[in-house]
Amino acid sequence: MKPVATRNAATAATLEGVESRLFTARDFQLESGVVLPELTLAYETYGALAPDGENAVLATHGFTGSHHFAGRYRPGGAPKGLGDGDVGAWDKLIGSGKAIDTGKLFVVASNMLGSSYGSTSPASLDPRTGKPYGPDFPHITVADIVKAQKLLLDGLRVRHLTAVVGPSYGGFQAFQWAVQYPEQMDGIVAAVTSPRAPGGPERTRALIEQLSADPNWNGGWYYDRGGIPAVMTRIRVATLKGYGIEAQLVERFPDPAAREAAIVAVAEPWARAFDGHSMVVLRRALEGFDTMPRFDRIRAKVLYVLSRTDTLFPPSLAPGVMQALKDAGADARYFEIDTELGHLASGLDADKWAAVLGAFVDELTTRT
Residues 15, 17: Cα–Cα separation, whole Å: 7
pLDDT tens across 209-264, in order? 999 999 999 999 999 999 999 999 999 999 899 888 998 899 999 999 999 999 99
How far from 232 is each of 268, 277, 278, CA to CA, in Å?
8, 11, 12
Indicate the pairing of strand 94-95 with strand 100-101: parallel
Is pLDDT above 50 for 1? no
Q: What is the pLDDT of residue 80?
A: 80
Residues 6+ apart with CB under 8 A from 259: 246, 249, 250, 253
Contact 262, 249 (CB under 8 A): yes
Tell me the percentage of the chain whose pLDDT exceeds 70.
96
Check if 310 is active-site: yes
Mean pLDDT in residue range 254-276: 92
pLDDT greater than 70 at residue 5: no
Q: Are 194 and 324 in contact (CB under 8 A)?
A: no
Active site residue 316: no
Q: Give the mean pLDDT of 296-301.
A: 98
CA distances from 143 to 29, 105, 164, 181, 364 (A): 12, 25, 14, 10, 24
Q: Higher pLDDT residue, 77 or 205?
A: 205
For residue 367, what pLDDT is reported? 62
What average pLDDT does the structure give for the chain? 93
Handedness of CA 316, 186, 289, 94 (dihedral sign): positive
Q: Which of 101, 186, 214, 310 is catalytic?
A: 310
Q: How confident is the model at residue 262, as a pLDDT?
A: 95
Q: What is the mean pLDDT of residues 317-340?
A: 98
Q: Is the pLDDT of residue 26 over 70?
A: yes
- Rounded to two decimals, the pTM is 0.93
pLDDT score of 221: 96
Is residue 71 scored above 80 in pLDDT? Answer: yes
The residue that leads in pLDDT, 81 or 159, is: 159
Which position among 168, 194, 278, 346 bears the catalytic label? 168
Q: Amino acid letter at 50?
A: A
pLDDT at 82: 83
Question: 318-321: long-range contacts (C-beta < 8 A, 24 or more apart)?
Answer: 321/194, 321/195, 321/292
What domains lie within the chain, and their CATH numbers?
Answer: 4-198+288-365 (3.40.50.1820), 201-283 (no CATH)
CB 237 within 8 A of CB 229: no
State the pLDDT at residue 2: 31
Higher pLDDT among residues 310 and 85, named by residue: 310
What pLDDT score was predicted for residue 107? 98
For the chain, how many residues are written?
368
Segment 54-77 mean pLDDT: 94
Select which of 67, 68, 277, 343 is catalytic: 343
Residue 57 — very low, low, confident or very high, per pLDDT cuts 50/70/90?
very high
**Backbone dihedral angles phi then psi of residue 128, each to the nearest 5 degrees:** -80, -20
Are 357 and 189 in contact by the 8 Å Cβ rule? The answer is yes
Taking a C-beta distance cutoff of 8 angstroms, is the pair 39, 24 a contact? Answer: yes
Instruction: Give the number of other CB atoms < 10 A from CB of residue 50.
Output: 14
Residues near 231 by beta carbon (within 8 Å), at least 6 away in sequence: 210, 211, 213, 214, 276
Share of the chain above pLDDT 90, in %: 86
Task: Note if 110 is an active site residue.
Answer: no
Task: Judge whether residue 8 has pLDDT over 80.
Answer: no
